[in-house]
Amino acid sequence: MKQSVLIALSLLLFGCQESNNTVYSSIKSPISGNYFEITNEIDSMELLALNTNELRLLRNEIFARRGYIFTSNDLREYFSKFDWYEPTFGADEIDVKLSDVDNNNIRLIKSIEDSKKLVRWNSDIQDYLDLIPDLQLPLKFICDKGFKPAVLDNELEIIKQFKPENATIIGKLFQNSYEASIVYGFPADIFYPIIFKIDTTGKELEYLSVFELRECVDDGEYSARTYGTITEDLKLETRIVVYRREYDLERNEYIRKDSTVTETIRSIK
């Protein structure tokens, strides 16, 4: 069923009616595998069967067909799989490459994306999430620096209701139609960040420690530091550097003997 809907969408998006505002090119849709011209406006009823991720890909395919250079890693990687994708134009150039039909389709898809994102969320949870500021990505960190807390009124009842005990709110990473991801600091006065993922009712689905206490210590003989980034495509990239020291009696101090480096990449979304 979904495949037939996607094929129908491709036909609508890449049909063959002539338009004076269209720049013609022979293209191959990654959805249907067929060749079409980008000329037709999409029927909104066809879009309702797609989820937000499919809508996002469909919307950005219009930009990809016109040679847009994506700054988002996941979109760049996705469209780079297709031989027709030729990244040529930046954000300040792409607008003139889009036809009137392109722009109408982009606006329509985006409006349906937005309408789907929050439709199933519990109203109290949504009120809580609306208070939490979005984090600007990429977000770099060092373990002993922690994160700054969001500026919020923690005495609000809605915050007291949903914020985990002994935590402070740092910010929101993302929210889609079925889950959201929030960064909290634990304990509240230290701000070691933990990423919580919740569903539309506020139920905790999972959590991911950005780094552990043991990854940021210095006791003379042993020290560890964690450096990392939460990327734009929502991956947690960490680099843990561990140093071992021995006490030098002649110098009356600890000296570094060796070090190890561990690098990991974990998906947040």
pLDDT at residue 117, as a whole number:
66
Question: Is residue 137 classed as helix, strand or coil in its secondary structure?
Answer: coil
Domain boundary among 79, 102, 117: 117
Q: How confident is the model at residue 2 (pLDDT cuts 50, 70, 90)?
A: very low
Residue 9: predicted pLDDT: 46
Lowest mean pLDDT among 71-75, 139-143, 216-220: 216-220
Average pLDDT along the chain: 78
Least confident window among 44-58, 89-103, 142-156, 167-181: 44-58
- Residue bearing the bigger pLDDT, 256 or 35: 256
The pLDDT assigned to 21 comes to 33
Whole-number pLDDT of residue 10: 45
Q: What is the DSSP secondary-structure string of 104-116?
A: HHHHHHHHHHHHH
Higher per-residue confidence, 44 vs 262: 262
Domains in the chain, number:
2
pLDDT for position 92: 87
214: confidence class by pLDDT, cuts 50, 70, 90: low
For residue 230, count CB atoms less than 10 angstroms from its CB and return exposed for 0-12, middle for 13-18, buried for 19 or more. buried
Among 117, 132, 166, which residue terminates a domain?
A: 117
Quick check: 30 pLDDT over 60?
Answer: no
- For residue 180, the model assigns a pLDDT of 92
Per cent of the chain over pLDDT 90 is 20
Same domain for 80 and 138, yes or no, is: no
Assigned token pair, 89: 């134009």
In which band, very low, low, confident or very high, does the pLDDT at 71 lie, cut at 50, 70 and 90?
confident
Tell which of 83, 117, 151 closes a domain.
117
Q: Are residues 244 and 229 in the same domain?
A: yes
The pLDDT, as a whole number, for residue 31 is 45
pLDDT (0 to 100) of residue 210: 81
pLDDT in tens, 175-206: 887 789 999 988 755 567 889 999 888 888 88
Together in a domain, 174 and 219:
yes
Is residue 263's pLDDT more than 70? yes
| Domain encompassing residue 88 | 2-117
CA distance 186 to 204: 16
Helices (H), 66-156: 73-79, 100-117, 123-131
| Stronger pLDDT, 141 or 119, i.e. the higher one | 141
- Indicate if 75 and 102 belong to the same structural domain: yes
Closest CA to 191 of 235, 232, 147, 127: 147
pLDDT for 189 equals 55
- Mean pLDDT across 98-126: 83
CATH number, domain containing residue 35: 1.20.58.1690
